[in-house]
Amino acid sequence: MSSPRIGSPLPARLWVTPAGLGALVRRAAVYRCSPTGSEHGGTTMRDTDRALVQAASAVAKLRCRSAAHTLATAARTAEGRVVSGVNVVHDSGGACAEVIAVGTAATQGVHDLETIVTVGDRGRSLVTPCGPCRRLLAELFPELRVIVGPVDDPRVVPVTGLLEP
């Protein structure tokens, strides 16, 4: 292959170049399959969920290259549209990647998210949203599905299942 390769291969053995990121995100957005598991997603990963993890990992590999940006989030609508964001770390505070993705969705006219995933370590780990983000996501999107767990065995849980009593 003569195309430049950035980062390491994604789980599906896809190489991502800056030009290829858009194609990967579009593939995650349009790849459709029939839902499986319970009506809230249960613990069964859909093919579209795996593609969303790949999209978040690609964003992390390409955009999280400094201490200021360490996490990447990808979120998908029921229609298959994907939005992403990276966190911002700064001495005066910062913003979680989930909040940035929600803001990005709002600026693009997206008002209902179906599934969300956050990755760290440049795509090598899945990160569960922090407490404030869990509350924000549950209030804005009560039916939201969150992909969590180890990267080699992820599962999908309802955002309300992540809230502490």
Length of the chain: 165
| Distance of alpha carbon 127 from alpha carbon 88, whole angstroms | 15
- Among residues 39, 98, 114, 143, which one is catalytic? 98
| Distance of alpha carbon 56 from alpha carbon 74, whole angstroms | 5
Judge whether 98 counts as a catalytic residue. yes
**Residue 150, strand partner residues:** none
Relative to beta strand 88-90, strand 155-158 is unpaired
Q: Which residues contact 86 (CB under 8 A, 6 or more apart)?
A: 59, 60, 63, 64, 69, 71, 72, 73, 97, 100
Rounded alpha-carbon distances, angstroms, from residue 160 to 84, 134, 136 = 21, 8, 11
- DSSP-derived letter for residue 155 is E
List residues with catalytic annotation: 98
